Amino acid sequence: MANNIYEEMTSPNPIAQIWRSYTKIHVAWISLWVVIAFSAIAILAPLIAPYSPFTQHPDSLLLPPSWNDAGSVYFLMGTDDLGRDVFSRLLYGTRLTFGSAVVVAFCAMLTGCAMGALAGMSRGVKSSIFNHLLDAILSIPSLLLAIIIVAVLGPGLNNTIWAVFLALVPQFVHRTRNAIAAEKKKEYVIATKLDGANDWQLLVHSILPNIINVIVLQFTFAVSVAMLDIAALGFLGLGADPSSPEWGALLREGIDLLYRASWLVTLPGIFMFSCLLCVNIVGSSLEKVLKFQSE
């Protein structure tokens, strides 16, 4: 093996640097694995669930979780008042609540960032009208806006997803527009513009790479908001069908049996709280890492 007589200094690429910095945050690392686990559950729920979420076991009504003395090993987290396996319903509910929230937030991010880029790069009357209209929409809370849209479209999970999507898009537009407006005032953008770059070149090569941290943080926030809105509409009876295993619908069904079968409320609540907490930690930590790398 020949010796290398040339000393070369190598440095990891930006993605490797971001990953290395992120893994040093232990809480964020653990939260990332929890989010990956929820994502795997959402994808593989039909394969790992022991029963169908709608299968009823008349001989096993309101069984407590298996760690209780009165529980059964055949039903890990107990059964509900119709004999349906709670564990299987929670796994399928991950797909309906968390999976739907991720898809809705991603679609809203693509649409909102495109519209926000158009608003941020526009000038004059068009920009003023767009900004005032956007401010009027953002004055309405996302959940209230989703309730209004569902009231117009009608109840159901599909209409809930459309309502949450329409409620999230203005938030992405607002954050993207503000981030682009702030970047346009910086010296490097002004210098690039003086070199002859047009608006498209400024946006793609100069501005967008420096506002990724804003978009990432808004995406994780949107996932949390989408989960809460989907679950809230399901709990209010405006979202998923009451018999579906969506987490909000599970809470709605279990609230009447809170004192008799508390696991019907606590277990969906723990699932939702854990998922929301880990998503927020992942987004906040990644935003800090991206911001540190850009400085």
Least confident span in 24-33, 107-116, 177-186: 177-186
Distance separating alpha carbons of residues 52 and 45, to the nearest angstrom: 10
pLDDT tens by residue, 66-121? 888 888 889 989 898 888 999 999 999 999 999 999 999 999 999 988 888 887 77
Specify the pLDDT at position 137. 73
Query: Is residue 239 within 8 Å of 97, Cβ to Cβ?
Result: no
Does residue 202 carry a pLDDT above 60? yes
Set out the domains of the chain in order of their start, with CATH numbers.
99-295 (1.10.3720.10)
* H/E element, 199: helix 199-201
Better-scored residue on pLDDT, 223 or 188: 223
Rounded distance between C-alpha atoms, residue 244 and residue 96, angstroms = 9
Cα→Cα distances 26→17, 57, 171, 176, 283, Å: 16, 43, 30, 30, 14
pLDDT category, 31, cuts 50, 70, 90?
A: very high
pLDDT at 64 over 80: yes
Give the rounded percent of residues in the chain with a pLDDT score beyond 70: 92
Q: Is the pLDDT of residue 186 over 70?
A: yes
